[in-house]
Amino acid sequence: QQQVKQSPQSLIVQKGGISIINCAYENTAFDYFPWYQQFPGKGPALLIAIRPDVSEKKEGRFTISFNKSAKQFSLHIMDSQPGDSATYFCAAPSGGYQKVTFGTGTKLQVIP
């Protein structure tokens, strides 16, 4: 069973700052690492995902950095905005690639 360790559990960042969330995984034969964003009262929704052919992927203010040798990946939110306040989940493939295991979540609060 894949284990995914996510940190920190909560994060407070000032508007315009950089938010960084880290995840570590145990083992995977394939590399697909998504990040999901969840607003209060809503279900999680895919934010950004990275596949094995790159070590970094950027979409707007959101960047995933992937370190395969260390089995770690992180989400960077540049120029954080109050609208980014949400809970973020990382995930990694598990169960022979039939499903994903989610991290424990990071509650981000961006204060003005």
Partner 1 sequence: DADVTQTPRNRITKTGKRIMLECSQTKGHDRMYWYRQDPGLGLRLIYYSFDVKDINKGEISDGYSVSRQAQAKFSLSLESAIPNQTALYFCATSVREGQDTQYFGPGTRLTVL
Tell me whether residue 17 or residue 105 sits nearer to partner 1 (CB atom). Answer: 105
Classify residue 2 by burial, with Cβ atoms within 10 Å: 0-12, 13-18, 19+. Answer: middle
29 binds partner 1 (CB under 8 A): no
- Strands 106-111, 62-67: parallel, antiparallel or unpaired by DSSP? unpaired
- Whole-angstrom CA distances from 54 to 14, 21, 98 are 30, 19, 23
Tell me whether residue 80 or residue 94 sits nearer to partner 1 (CB atom). Answer: 94
69 binds partner 1 (CB under 8 A): no
Tell me whether residue 30 or residue 78 sits nearer to partner 1 (CB atom). Answer: 30
List of residues contacting partner 1 (CB under 8 A):
1, 6, 9, 30, 32, 34, 36, 41-46, 49, 89, 93-95, 97-105
